[in-house]
């Protein structure tokens, strides 16, 4: 094997390992829920609970799409760590023990958004992020998990996050399947940087060794 070929293989191996590590530690997720069984006015809610008592986590929710439906009215916020709305995007943090965002929406064929979230953990009880879908009056929230009433829960216990860390619940009474969580297909800036570094190493090796 020539030196040129060997260096190409090494560079590609390093690049693959870097991309795999970056994907495993992704903190951004696409969340999609099939809302076609619903009709009319519903309520979407997000909660943040401070478990470890340090106020060390935050979440941003953007790019809401209602599949033909749309946001309604103004939001209601409970706790100091909440701002925004379903149109401009929502920011939550765990500066209070419990924060809650709610806003009505007209159900379409689906509901989707981009979640960016931190995962810091000081020990003890982890912080938790949750998503709820409820009726217009917030009397009933849809979930087969009667304890939480949530369709999505993410416990922030530290370390890299992945779709498998999410607790996802359907709602049989409303014929709702569990939400689907995936990693965005577009690489994040850190991933692009690693990719560029690996490619630079590969082309540098080709230049040196011909």
The answer on 96 and 48 residing in a single domain is yes
Domain for residue 24, yes or no? no
The answer on 174 and 97 residing in a single domain is yes
Residue 138 C-alpha from the chain's centroid: 23
Whether residue 116 is predicted with pLDDT greater than 50 in this model: the reply is: yes
Domain count, the chain: 2
- To the nearest whole number, what is the mean pLDDT of the chain? 84
The answer on 179 and 126 residing in a single domain is yes
pLDDT digits (tens, 9 = 90+) for 11-43: 444 444 434 333 333 399 999 999 999 999 999
pLDDT digits (tens, 9 = 90+) for 144-190: 999 999 999 999 999 899 999 999 999 999 999 999 999 998 655 55
The answer on 201 and 102 residing in a single domain is no
Are 133 and 116 in contact, with CB atoms under 8 Å apart? no
Exposure b/e, 146-165, CB count within 10 A at least 16 = b: eebbbbbbbbbbeeebeeeb
Range of the domain at 204: 3-19+191-209
| Beta bridge mates, 110 | 34
Whether residue 192 is predicted with pLDDT greater than 70 in this model: the reply is: no
The answer on 127 and 170 residing in a single domain is yes
The neighbour count for residue 119, using CB atoms within 10 Å, is 20
Domain for residue 157, yes or no? yes
Give residue 17's pLDDT: 42
Is the entire prediction scored with pTM above 0.85?
Answer: no
The answer on 13 and 75 residing in a single domain is no
């Amino acid at each position: 094997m020539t030196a040129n070929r060997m260096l190409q293989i090494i560079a590609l191996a390093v690049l693959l390992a870097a991309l795999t590590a970056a994907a495993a530690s992704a903190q951004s997720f696409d969340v999609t829920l099939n809302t076609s069984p619903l009709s009319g006015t519903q309520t979407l809610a997000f909660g943040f609970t401070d478990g470890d008592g340090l106020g060390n986590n935050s979440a941003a929710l953007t790019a809401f799409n209602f599949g033909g439906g749309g946001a309604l009215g103004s939001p209601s916020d409970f706790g100091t760590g909440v701002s925004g709305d379903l149109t401009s995007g929502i920011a939550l943090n765990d500066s209070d023990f419990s924060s809650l965002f709610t806003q009505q929406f007209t159900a379409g064929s689906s509901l989707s958004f981009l979640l960016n979230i931190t995962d810091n953990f000081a020990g003890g009880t982890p912080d938790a992020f949750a998503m709820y879908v409820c009726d217009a009056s917030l009397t009933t929230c849809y979930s087969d998990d009667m304890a939480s009433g949530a369709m999505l829960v993410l416990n922030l216990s530290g370390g890299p996050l992945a779709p498998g860390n999410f607790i996802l619940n359907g709602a049989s009474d409303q014929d709702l399947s569990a939400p689907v969580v995936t990693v965005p297909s577009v690489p994040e800036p850190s991933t692009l940087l690693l990719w560029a570094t690996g490619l630079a190493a590969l082309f540098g090796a080709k230049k040196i060794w011909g």
